[in-house]
Amino acid sequence: MSGASSCPRSRRRETLLESVRSPLFVVLKALYGLGKQDEAGKEPLYRLVAELYRDLPSLGYLILYFLKVQIRTENKREDHTKASALKIGVYKDFCQSIEKKIDICIFDDLYACHVSDTKLMMWIVPDLYRDFKQQTLNNAQILRVIISAIDSRQLQTLVGKVLQGHLVMFKPESLQPLLKTSLSWESIEQFFLWQLVNAHDISIDTVLPLVTELDYERHSEALTAVTLMLKQEKPNADYVKYLFSRDICDNGDLFVFTIIKYWCDEYIDKVAELISSLLSTR
């Protein structure tokens, strides 16, 4: 019993339906139907699915794929909120049947998917971030699985979906822990992360507290991103305070100098005033 081997290139209804005709998807369709009708007989079917999962680790992401196809191709035009609730309910019940928390399930399923089919992963990612906000927003593990698997073209797709309003991956009020965690990621992963942060129009005020913890030699990706964000801003007391709160070691750290020098080209009097005011309080 096997599922789809690859996400079809075409998103036409006929092509999507053809991709979910294998015996496995027949089982999932029955599960979906039970959830839709709110019948009490779904427990044995979930036990079957849990047994299948032991031998088929891809089952989790195939369920996510199937649910998206099912909602997208149904003839009846149902209320989007109801359709989304049904989709969420089926996946939550699946997670419960295999005795995993939802965030762990999402991570495991994305991990399995990113190994075998990044195109399919890319197709289900926006739905995951929309339907499971509590588990996905600012989740460092889930985000890293995604960005570790994509290429520049797929990054462009994600950025486009963010700008179109179809994808939200961050919430500013709790972004700092994610940014700190990312400092140990591979360089290209950090680059992709900061591209996505910029796509979300995250305020420099959200990011700036991080600069006191960034090392000029070890955290060049983050410092470069913050430098380019500060480049777009006008100097103010808070910005200058954060900049001068950095521990400057004798390692050629040019971060603060670069920002101050850039601002001085246009705001030299303002910068002088801000620095003077800061020094007078110390």
Residues 6+ apart with CB under 8 A from 53: 59, 60, 98
**Do residues 221 and 98 share a domain?**
no
**Do residues 128 and 218 share a domain?**
no
**Do residues 118 and 168 share a domain?**
no
Residue 254 CB coordination number (10 Å): 13
pLDDT at position 31 = 87
How many domains in the chain? 3
Residues 6+ apart with CB under 8 A from 209: 176, 242
pLDDT in tens, 99-158: 999 999 999 999 999 999 999 999 999 999 999 999 999 999 999 999 999 999 999 999
**Do residues 4 and 129 share a domain?**
yes
DSSP string, 221-246: HHHHHHHHHHHTS---HHHHHHHTTS
**Do residues 165 and 63 share a domain?**
no
Closest CA to 277 of 248, 246, 238: 238
**Do residues 13 and 75 share a domain?**
yes
**Do residues 116 and 178 share a domain?**
no
Closest CA to 183 of 152, 129, 219: 219
pTM, 2 dp: 0.90
Domain limit, last residue, from 181, 202, 223: 202
**Do residues 159 and 261 share a domain?**
no
Residue 75 per-residue DSSP state: S
Structure tokens at 50: 């849990």
**Do residues 67 and 132 share a domain?**
yes
Which domain, by its residues, includes 195? 144-202
**Do residues 11 and 49 share a domain?**
yes
